[in-house]
Structure 1
Amino acid sequence: MGAANKWSDTAMLVIDMQKEFVDPAMSSLAFLAGGEAILPAVTQAVELARERGIFVVWVVREHDPDGRDVELFRRRFYSGGKGPAMKGSQGAEMADGLVIKEEDYKLVKTRFSSFFATNLDSVLKTSGIKNLVVVGVQTPNCVRQTVFDAVALDYEKVTVIVDATAAASPEIQMGIYNLCVAQQTSET
């Protein structure tokens, strides 16, 4: 069995690896130091996924300059055409070294979950995807909610690469990871 056949039912979701969230030069309120630290691991994971023929989905935030499509609690950060990850802004661009290729898929989301009010489930299922590998930021929000929704939508295997995901601090990252492991253990 060829590598592409073995992995043809798997997709990698790369969540919010945009300059706004991982590049300290942006001086953004949304910056996560942990996001900058995992950039090499995410880059390596994407390269490996491509080598194996895994479908790569880039999940990004791109918001309206007025913040009309942002969660209510974040709207205060949007005024006068300024705010995190606005459509067409430098902050909405992929982090340095990460490139969306023609064979990849780009999905724009406006909430934590990559599945909420998007066509992601349809794109994955019509592509024959049963298994997901998740990398990116921010673990307690976008990564976790996407993983929970993937489980609820009956994806067979949902794998989070811990070294290629990040939260606001290492303590939060490990706390979420330990919580998920404990939950998994109690369910088996």
Structure 2
Amino acid sequence: MAGADENQAKWKSTALLVVDMQNDFLSPECCLFVAGGPRVIPAVQKAVDIAREKGAFVVWVVREHHETGRDVEYFRKHLYDGTSGPTMRGAVGAALVDGLVPIPGEHKIVKSRFSAFFATNLDLVLRREGIQHVVVAGVFRKIY
């Protein structure tokens, strides 16, 4: 039984980071569309289901920006006109794609740069939860 207990303990100390699974990255009509991105949606959904089933800590990492673009990288500022822009806070484009919905107890990290660790409390959240293992899924998972 020790093996089962160890396996359960590993899952409890594991976090799944679901990164940038937002409409503006996964809808072909959006300017930040990631080619091939929609193909990963089923795999990410499955990863979330397994993580939940096993008791892993699920963290939703999203970009949300001010409508003026004052919090985006300089090279993206031209995409914001004061009333709209990609992954604008509260807009449909910033919402998670259909089928991916956080449940109570899961955590959301809002980032303004590529890294989920830059200028966020992600490190603190993971430490407080006792996380020792991190699995990353999503469309921009290579940028850390």
Pick the TM interval, shorter chain: over 0.9
Q: Is 1:18–2:25 an aligned residue pair?
A: no
Residue of structure 1 in register with 2:46 after alignment: 44
Displacement of 1:103 in angstroms is 1.4
Alignment of 1:104-119 (within 5 A): 104-119=106-121
Percent of residue pairs identical: 52
Partner SS state of residue 106, structure 1:
strand
From 97, 100, 106, give the equivalent of 1:98.
100
CA contact (8 A) 1:3 1:53 kept: no
| Residue 2 of structure 1, CA deviation | 7.1
Aligned residue pairs total 140
User: In the alignment, is residue 58 of structure 1 matched against residue 68 of structure 2?
Assistant: no
1:145 aligns with 2:143: yes
Match in the other structure for 1:6: 10
CA–CA separation in structure 2 for the residues paired with 1:18 and 1:110: 14
TM-score (norm 1): 0.71
* Root-mean-square deviation over aligned CA pairs: 1.2
- More contact order relative to length (CA 8 Å, sep ≥ 6): 2
TM-score (norm 2): 0.92
| Amino acid across the alignment from 1:31 | F
CA contact (8 A) 1:60 1:106 kept: yes
What stretches of structure 2 of length at least 5 have no aligned partner? none
> In the alignment, residue 40 of structure 1 is paired with which amino acid?
P
**Over 4 Å off, 4+ runs:** none
How big is each residue's C-alpha offset from its partner over 1:100-132, in whole Å with a ceiling of 9 and x where there is no partner? 111110110000000000000000011101110
Which piece of structure 1 moves more, 30-39 or 3-12?
Answer: 3-12
SS at match of 2:87: coil
